């Protein structure tokens, strides 16, 4: 149960951070403030796959949590 909770927290946190960086100019402003504004053209190549990965990770964590809850109930392995 603890690993499923950790997996779910990681997935949700990663999804929120990646979505925040994809859909708002937060990362562009931060990268520009540091002086690496030449890299802003390449951010989509990193952020969109990261967003997809964390969404899949969150979905997998929900699936595992549901399976654990189903198996912990008496007679839970029946449909």
Query: Domain boundaries in the chain?
Result: 2-71
pTM over 0.85: no
Question: pLDDT class for 2, splitting at 50, 70, 90?
Answer: low
Cα–Cα distance between 5 and 53 in angstroms, integer?
Answer: 17
Share of the chain above pLDDT 90, in %: 32
Q: Strand runs (DSSP E) across 1-79, as ranges?
A: none
Tokens for 30, please give them. Answer: 């931060």
Span 17-61, pLDDT tens digits = 998 888 888 888 888 899 888 888 888 898 899 999 999 999 999
């Amino acid at each position: 149960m603890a690993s499923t909770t950790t997996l779910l927290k990681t997935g949700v946190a990663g999804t929120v951070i990646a979505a925040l960086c994809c859909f708002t100019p937060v990362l562009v402003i931060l990268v520009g403030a540091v002086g690496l504004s030449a890299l802003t053209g390449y951010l989509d190549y990193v952020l969109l796959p990261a967003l997809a990965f964390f969404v899949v990770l969150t979905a997998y964590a929900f699936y595992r949590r549901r399976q654990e809850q189903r198996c912990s109930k008496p007679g839970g392995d029946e449909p």
